[in-house]
Amino acid sequence: MQRRERTRHLIELGGLVQKAGLVEVTNDDRATLYGALLELAGRARDDGAVDILGLWKRRGKRAFDAESEGGTAP
């Protein structure tokens, strides 16, 4: 990935953290955010990860759809 593409990708990921409300919930504490993300990654690696990844994907798609229709994310 080229530098510009990587930078854009990282900015978009940061935007998702903001959209999800994690910045406010954690009072912008980066250690807490990082710990939460590590917890999610650990859960995704555990047995049954297919189920949790599918759940997260469906929830994310519903939130994106609601946003594009002018609603608010769940």
Place 72 in a pLDDT band, splitting at 50, 70 and 90: low
pLDDT in tens, 21-70: 999 999 999 999 999 999 999 988 887 677 889 899 999 999 999 999 88
Paired tokens of 22: 């994690």
DSSP E strands, the chain: none
Q: Where in the chain are the domains?
A: 3-68
pTM for the whole structure: 0.77
Report residue 29 as tokens: 């504490």
Is residue 74 scored above 60 in pLDDT? no
Structure tokens at 28: 């912008």
Question: Are the C-beta atoms of residues 17 and 23 closer than 8 Å to each other?
Answer: yes
